[in-house]
Amino acid sequence: MPLRLAGIVTVAWLSLNVTTLAAETLTQIDANDLRAELDALHGRVVLVNFWATWCRPCLEEIPALMELETQLRDSGFSLVAVSLDEPDGAESLVRPFMEKWFPGFTSFLSIERDRDDMVSVIDAAWNEILPTSYLVARDGSIAERIQGKNSAEAFAAKIQSLIQQP
């Protein structure tokens, strides 16, 4: 009997940890939090990707971004994905969507009511096109604004050129 109880406790503990890990893949942030995140990544090449569940081109490029993050992480690259879906939909829409279609994808969810408030952390002249990505050089400067769906190869070439710069 004690062995069976230990097994149940172990399964319950594993279930709790899997739920906790899933919950950590979507974190709500505001504009100040995004600034702090970018400051913390100073010295790395960063791709900030703004996306939404209703944006088909966004969803088509997410697998490529996930792959690049895995391949280039050790070379000094970081992906910062930010969903611009409505903040009220985090639990009912965005999290289940990510778990179904992009398990393992880590993203922030903007809690700013106005999308411009979030994107203006990087680009005050954003024209509200999604997806929009910003390639940030190691020194924190914006190297490039990338709008519309891009291929893995296009992203990789741009990222690699910045990684190779001192």
Q: 31 in helix, strand or coil? A: helix
pLDDT in tens, 29-38: 999 999 999 9
Of the candidates 45, 115, 129, 128, the one whose C-alpha atom is nearest the C-alpha of residue 84 is: 115
114 in helix, strand or coil?
Answer: coil
Q: What was the pLDDT predicted at 165?
A: 86
Name the residue among 67, 150, 83 with its Cα closest to residue 119. 83
DSSP 61-82: HHHHHHHHHHHHGGGTEEEEEE
Give the span between the Cα atoms of 66 and 61, in whole angstroms: 9
Q: What is the pLDDT of residue 20?
A: 32
Report whether the peptide linkage leading into residue 131 is cis, meaning its omega lies within 30 degrees of zero: yes
Is the CB of residue 79 less than 8 Å from the CB of residue 41?
A: no
Name the percent of the chain lying above pLDDT 90: 72
* Paired tokens of 70: 């895995």
- Single pTM value for the model: 0.83
Q: For the chain, what percentages of helix, strand and coil (3-state, to nearest 5) are there?
A: 50, 20, 30
The pLDDT assigned to 4 comes to 43
pLDDT the model gives residue 52: 95
5, containing H or E segment: helix 2-23
- Domains plus CATH for the chain? 25-163 (3.40.30.10)
36-68 per-position pLDDT tens digit? 999 999 999 999 999 999 999 999 999 999 999
Structure tokens at 49: 């990707």
Q: Is the pLDDT of residue 152 over 80?
A: yes
pLDDT at 12 over 50: no
Neighbouring-strand partners of residue 135:
47, 144
Which carries the bigger pLDDT value, residue 104 or residue 22? 104
